[in-house]
Amino acid sequence: MAARLPACVVDCGTGYTKLGYAGNTEPQFIIPSCIAIKESAKVGDQAQRRMMKGVDDLDFFIGDEAIDKPNYATKWPIRHGIVEDWDLMERFMEQVIFKYLRAEPEDHYFLLTEPPLNTPENREYTAEIMFESFNVPGLYIAVQAVLALAASWTSRQVGERTLTGSVIDSGDGVTHVIPVAEGYVIGSCIKHIPIAGRDITYFTQQLLREREVGIPPEQSLETAKAVKERFSYVCPDLVKEFSKYDTDGSKWIKQYTGINAISKKEFTIDVGYERFLGPEIFFHPEFANPDFTQPISEVVDEVIQNCPIDVRRPLYKNVVLSGGSTMFRDFGRRLQRDLKRTVDARLKLSEELSGGKLKVRFTECAILTKNNIVSIFSGILLIRIIRQYFAECVIVLVY
């Protein structure tokens, strides 16, 4: 039965979970990765909760329903891409399978995603839940970066299909630069960047608080998130962008209208510098985090330089952007320009130090933007054709 039915795909992220069936180009559901439980059910640590399960523990909601429950405690079991509360994660997966996918887990293979550098213990916990709690016939846990590379094959910009490239995966809670060679992640060269979508939201919230006074305090974070998602973009030059807004503000300043949750009255705010200053922290991280000052372009260059020399040029030629925080307008164009400047400056310096004896060939840097929501599913659509997928899929008998 499981061989005839499509595999269930669940991509759990820090902010959102994407779920659906393999073979589709887009997920059926995109829900927040949160769970709402009764206040009485949250008392004590995880071990006590397992021993004292009662009626309250059966009363919980996930996704958008969880956010709309004011009398419940809202929990986020995933932090920085890693599961922190396995008890809540098991309940979350229960509703994902039975309520959203409406699938019988015994009849479907499951494909789950994991972040790079995920520990073997976390992988074992995941397998334990899927095999022992849900009795799935087969399970495959794939690295998100490899699926994003496979998904890049569907782009018109791609001439040849390759699983070699650099993946910049930036979601709500974590950003990684992951080099992949022939489908294998070079784990020793992965770099973590302490800047992600949530940091952009907090930075935008801080900017709005300093300038706008009409935002209800309890809705400032929600307003900042809406402003970030609707109006933000990446500018090519920070100084020129400031002068554009100063000379002709009416052309560039946008208006955001929200509704006060308490008084039900509308409030309107002007969105100006926040439009480009939010995503700018990827390229000037010192704006938001004084302890980290390395721009994302330099991090990518450092990651590739740490890799074996024979794969560096292919890694520069195939840089894939994945994740919601890379979807800002002109993000890929700015990254490509900055990365090319960094590489060309180093090559030119090498030529000068050699006294002109060393003639360097400048490296081509190609950036491919791929919508993360579609990339995971497009990647699975292609990978499920490959025989290795079936060979490496862990089945119940092996477990």
Whether residue 387 is predicted with pLDDT greater than 50 in this model: the reply is no
- How far apart (Å, rounded) are the C-alpha atoms in residues 20 and 29? 7
Whether residue 388 is predicted with pLDDT greater than 50 in this model: the reply is no
Per domain, the residue ranges of the chain are 8-144+373-395, 149-194+294-372, 197-282
- How far apart (Å, rounded) are the C-alpha atoms in residues 326 and 321? 6
Contacts of 216 (CB under 8 A, 6+ apart): 260, 261, 262, 267
Q: Helices 144-151 & 372-383, crossing angle to 10 degrees?
A: 80
pLDDT at position 156, please?
Answer: 53
In the block, tokens 């479907």 appear at: 108
Say which CATH superfamily domain 8-144+373-395 falls into: ATPase, nucleotide binding domain (3.30.420.40)
Q: Determine whether 156 is exposed, middle or buried from the number of CB atoms within 10 Å of its CB (0-12, 13-18, 19+).
A: exposed
Q: Determine whether 102 is exposed, middle or buried from the number of CB atoms within 10 Å of its CB (0-12, 13-18, 19+).
A: exposed
CB 304 within 8 A of CB 166: yes
For residue range 213-240, list pLDDT tens digits in order: 778 888 899 899 999 999 999 999 999 9
In the block, tokens 């705010």 appear at: 269
pLDDT at position 241, please?
Answer: 93
User: Which pLDDT band holds residue 370 (cuts at 50, 70, 90)?
Assistant: low
Q: Do domains 8-144+373-395 and 197-282 have the same CATH topology?
A: no
> What's the rounded mean pLDDT across residues 184-203?
92
Say which CATH superfamily domain 149-194+294-372 falls into: ATPase, nucleotide binding domain (3.30.420.40)
- How far apart (Å, rounded) are the C-alpha atoms in residues 61 and 176? 30
For residue range 296-338, list pLDDT tens digits in order: 999 999 999 999 999 998 999 889 998 889 999 999 999 999 9
pLDDT at position 248, please?
Answer: 86
CB 72 within 8 A of CB 111: no
CATH class of 197-282: alpha beta
Average pLDDT, the chain: 83
For residue range 149-166, list pLDDT tens digits in order: 888 776 655 566 788 899
Name the β-bridge partners of 268: 257
Neighbours of 55 (CB within 10 A): 9
Nearest to 366, CA basis, from 312, 315, 324, 329: 315
Percentage of the chain exceeding pLDDT 90: 46
Angle CA 78–20–98, to nearest 5: 75
- The H-or-E segment that residue 382 falls in is helix 372-383
